């Protein structure tokens, strides 16, 4: 699958296409399984920010929490696939101070704020300061997995490195932060990356 195909599935609402892509990615375990959990957590987090009804918002955040728990379990059992990941603490994100950082090989850092810490060690690094780049970075890594590449190979822009194939195009900026604060999950929207 190309980056554009992966991003279209990620941004879309076609459940069958999404499940099919996740199934194909899972065939490239353990890297593909990790990519699926990252995509699920990121998509659920973004969807929750769009929902106005608290029932749907809660369901999306529950899915994000489940995906993060599964991601941590996989990262702990598959040593070395993601060499740099762990938990940090952000005192400014009241109610969602725990931050899971994942440095995707060759694609860059992504992070998720949550209300409680799951299994895993402390993160040795620091936040890279980039907002709204997680979907692009995860989808670029998924493309590399589909292509059988270990990591992305060339320097990129603020959206994460691009691979070296000449037909690759710069990715659009997606996943920009939404303004506003949900009533039942204060400040979560402002801090998910």
pLDDT tens for 30-85 read 999 999 999 999 999 898 888 877 888 888 889 999 999 999 999 999 988 999 99
pTM listed for this prediction: 0.77
**Domain layout of the chain by residue ranges:** 3-81+132-172
Q: Got the DSSP string for 150-190?
A: SS--EEEETTEEEPS-TT--PPPP--PPPPS--SSSTTHHH
């Amino acid at each position: 699958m190309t980056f554009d195909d992966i991003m279209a599935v990620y941004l879309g609402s076609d459940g069958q296409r999404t499940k099919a892509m996740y199934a194909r990615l899972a065939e490239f375990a353990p890297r593909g399984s990790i990519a699926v959990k990252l995509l699920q957590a990121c998509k659920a987090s973004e969807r929750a920010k769009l929902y106005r009804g608290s029932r749907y918002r809660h369901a999306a955040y529950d899915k994000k929490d489940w995906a993060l728990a599964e991601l941590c379990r996989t990262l702990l059992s598959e040593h070395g696939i993601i060499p740099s990941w762990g938990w940090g603490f952000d005192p400014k994100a009241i109610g969602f101070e725990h931050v899971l950082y994942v440095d995707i090989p060759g694609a860059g850092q992504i992070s998720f704020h949550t209300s409680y810490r799951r299994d895993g060690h402390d993160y040795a690094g620091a936040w890279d300061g980039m907002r709204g780049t997680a979907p692009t970075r995860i989808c670029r890594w998924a493309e590399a997995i589909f292509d059988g590449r270990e990591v992305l190979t060339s320097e990129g822009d603020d959206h994460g490195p691009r691979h070296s194939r000449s037909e690759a195009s710069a990715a659009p900026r997606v996943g920009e932060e939404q303004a506003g604060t949900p009533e039942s999950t204060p400040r979560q929207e402002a801090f998910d990356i």
